[in-house]
Amino acid sequence: MTSYRQRIKYIHHGRIVELGAVDPTMTLLNYLRYEKALTGTKEGCAEGDCGACTVVLGEAGEDGIRYQAVNACIQFLPTIDGKELITVEDLKDEDGALHPVQQAMVEANATQCGFCTPGFVMSIFADMHNGATTDRQHIDDVLAGNLCRCTGYGPIVEAARNIAGAGTKDHFHEREGETLSLLKRLAAEDTLHFTWQGRHYYAPDTVEELADILDRHPDATLVAGATDVGLWITKQHRTLPVVVYLGKVTALQKITQTAEGLLIGAGVTYSAAWPTLSDFHPDLGELVRRIASTQIRNCGTIGGNIANGSPIGDMPPALIALNSRLRVRSKAGVREIPLEEFFIDYGKQDLREGEFVETVFIPVPAVGAHFATYKISKRFDQDISALCGAMSLYLEKSIVADIRICFGGMAGTPKRATTVETALIGKSWDTATLDIALNRMGEDYAPLSDMRASREYRLLAAKNLLRKFLIETTDSGTATRIVGVKGIAHA
């Protein structure tokens, strides 16, 4: 039997802080503000959308410490175990002088009401430690998860640019070696498990341990980035009897690339997967860029995105169009299913008691295959799709040999347009065929009207996305995209 450690240990101010059992779902933000009276970190939305609560977590990476901005409002306190915590209060020098990022914000007139400011400071601070560049697109991506209602962002972009351009160093660089050795010391500690008022928290290290825990606690809630489960607490005020944190299961954090395809562990964060997915296909990279924000991508995992069964699904439409397969594991063993079969109905997935998602496998498309994915939302960055479409096409002499079309936001689950696909297969890939096929889209989808879009719009836009796909696969010279790598408004 594993010997468990019951005390949470994290690094703050260059020292290891120890905590006894706490409410397993106490948010890091509430801990900071109301337990530690560290009120520089603000609550703006309690759902990971505004970034006022941004703090930075440091972890040992391949070359030094990897600093990542996260939303403290939806992170559970115990998940910072083994990491370095940095809040806005920690940035100033010992003599009280402002940190270069803070100074840059002041000099650029980048504060007005100031409530969002600490969050922006922390996002820029993390970026400064991650090879910041002055490229506008990069800055937009770094700051997409921080909302400012006053400035219009220009001065903040200027501050970020000034920091990136200066190659700034700070006291965190100076003490990096020291911190790294503390991080390594914590990494060698036993597995964390504690019980608080009858509720359990586990942070297993291996898939076997994880399967064991789930076997014992079928009611357990699995938490990776908490970018969804966090809201169960902050918005729905739920009580979770057993929380199992996946961030320490190293086997789930792996990406394996082979000639056949990409094998992505369920615990791989969007940030970690982004470069590989971009290489796999630029549209996948652009899709990841448009998913949430840096803070959320630093925590949110591709496995979590699948397992939570969202009807919109950020990644699943693209993964399904690419014919991905899912592997789930339990103490009884593993089984593999096509990803599309995982989504049974709204809120219902093919996940049996004691099972967890282990990996998703994306096969390399056939040579000459076409693929595209599109996301439509009210705001380009950090918004949930009104609809999201992905298409994968294989032509033989301009005849559709195979096509897979999948949409999110059009049904209770991410769903393929099988009727439209059938109407296209074996036909010439042209406007006339597509128009006929699109007349049948109503047989595949009966979308809802809600606050993101009306049924009428969803159907029309879905058809038009297929038209766009036809244009892009037959007339590559014509501009069809506003944003992204191929976008003509590319910053």
By CB under 8 A, which span of 2-10, 131-139, 204-212, 348-356 interacts with other proteins? 131-139
Residue with tokens 């209060």: 89
Cα angle at 404 between 400 and 408, to 5 degrees? 145
At its nearest, how many Å lie between other proteins and the CB of residue 33?
A: 8
* Residues in binding contact with other proteins, number by CB under 8 A: 91
**Which residues in 5-44 contact other proteins (CB under 8 A)?**
33-34, 37, 39-44
- Asked whether position 193 contacts other proteins by CB under 8 A, the answer is no
Query: Which one of residues 8, 126, 139, 339 is an interface residue with other proteins (CB under 8 A)?
Result: 139
At its nearest, how many Å lie between other proteins and the CB of residue 10?
A: 19
At its nearest, how many Å lie between other proteins and the CB of residue 55?
A: 11
Name the phi and psi angles at 176, rounded to 5: -60, -40
Residue with Cβ nearer other proteins (114 or 275): 114
- Asked whether position 170 contacts other proteins by CB under 8 A, the answer is no
- Asked whether position 152 contacts other proteins by CB under 8 A, the answer is yes
List, in order, residues 6 or more apart from 439 with CB less than 8 Å away.
none
At its nearest, how many Å lie between other proteins and the CB of residue 235?
A: 7
**Which residues in 392-451 contact other proteins (CB under 8 A)?**
450-451
Between CA 98 and CA 75 the distance in angstroms is 27
**Which residues in 370-389 contact other proteins (CB under 8 A)?**
374, 376-384, 386
113-118: long-range contacts, CB 8 A cutoff, minimum separation 24 = 113/149, 113/150, 115/42, 115/44, 115/52, 116/42, 116/44, 116/50, 116/51, 116/52, 116/146, 116/147, 116/148, 116/149, 116/150, 118/40, 118/41, 118/42, 118/52, 118/54, 118/88
Extract the tokens encoding 366: 């056939």
Cβ atoms of residues 472 and 282 within 8 Å: no
Query: Which one of residues 8, 11, 28, 52 is an interface residue with other proteins (CB under 8 A)?
Result: 52
- Asked whether position 479 contacts other proteins by CB under 8 A, the answer is yes
Residue with Cβ nearer other proteins (46 or 203): 46
Between CA 479 and CA 485 the distance in angstroms is 12
- Asked whether position 482 contacts other proteins by CB under 8 A, the answer is yes
At its nearest, how many Å lie between other proteins and the CB of residue 80?
A: 18
By CB under 8 A, which span of 49-57, 192-200, 301-309, 335-343 interacts with other proteins? 49-57
**Which residues make beta-bridge pairs with 222?**
244
State the maximum Cα–Cα separation within the chain, in Å, rounded to a whole number: 73
Extract the tokens encoding 242: 């057993």
Q: What is the 3-state secondary structure (H, E, C) of 359-394?
A: EEEEECCCCCCEEEEEEECCCCCCCCCCEEEEEEEE
Query: Which one of residues 278, 350, 457, 474 is an interface residue with other proteins (CB under 8 A)?
Result: 457
Query: Which one of residues 91, 224, 264, 405 is an interface residue with other proteins (CB under 8 A)?
Result: 91
Between CA 461 and CA 132 the distance in angstroms is 36
**Which residues make beta-bridge pairs with 356?**
329
By CB under 8 A, which span of 14-22, 105-113, 163-171, 350-358 interacts with other proteins? 105-113
- Asked whether position 207 contacts other proteins by CB under 8 A, the answer is no
By CB under 8 A, which span of 313-321, 358-366, 393-401, 476-484 interacts with other proteins? 476-484
By CB under 8 A, which span of 94-102, 246-254, 303-311, 328-336 interacts with other proteins? 94-102
Between CA 234 and CA 26 the distance in angstroms is 10
- Asked whether position 308 contacts other proteins by CB under 8 A, the answer is no
By CB under 8 A, which span of 277-285, 305-313, 439-447, 482-490 interacts with other proteins? 482-490
Sign of torsion, CA 52 452 281 407? positive
